[in-house]
Amino acid sequence: MSLKDQITEDMKTAMRAKDSARLLTIRGLLAACKQREVDERITLDDAAVIAIVDKLVKQRKDSITQFTAGNRPDLVEKEAAELQVLEGYLPQRLGADEVAAEVAKVVTELTAELGRAPAAADMGKVMGAVKTRLAGKADMGVVSAAVKRALNP
């Protein structure tokens, strides 16, 4: 069963259980998936659905930060509940050590490709390579920090 099918089944379950908060979040996720399919005229695979979920998770985290700064605990609570539902669709995230190991592999490969050790100016190249490998598997904030540490010893 694909991730999109699982999300659809979860929506049906939430409807039957009359769980309106969960239902609203799942419907928003499915709407985002459908919008991308219509815009790009494609059928989403699991990796693309995970990318959408990752984007929505980042939006919720940003909203929580803003609502906390604005002293709106009611909205913080709502966004946190949505965040919890969305994070249930993400695969297990890699830890900081695993991310650092993957970044080290990429830096080694780029050293061979460039004929020199990558410098801070090569951060875009390193991030691009790491992002394709770890998309949906790691928080990109953690990845960025690991790349900065690797390039600025």
Q: What is the mean pLDDT of each run of 10 residues along the chain (153 residues)?
A: 94 96 96 96 91 93 96 95 94 87 88 81 85 82 88 77
Looking at residue 153, its pLDDT comes to 67
Identify whether the C-beta of residue 122 lies closer than 8 Å to the C-beta of residue 110. yes
Q: What is the DSSP letter of 57?
A: H
The first and second tokens of residue 4, run together, are: 């999109």
pLDDT for 89 equals: 93
The predicted model scores a pTM of 0.78
Whole-number Å distance between alpha carbons of 128 and 143: 11
Rg (CA), the chain: 19
Q: How many domains does the chain have?
A: 2
Cβ–Cβ < 8 Å for 3, 50: yes
Q: How far apart are CA 84 and CA 98, in angstroms?
A: 24
Same domain assignment for residues 51 and 106: no
CB 86 within 8 A of CB 110: no
Chosen domain end from 87, 118, 142: 87
For residue 10, which of 23, 28, 24, 29 has the smallest C-alpha distance?
A: 23
User: Are residue 83 and residue 27 in the same domain, yes or no?
Assistant: yes
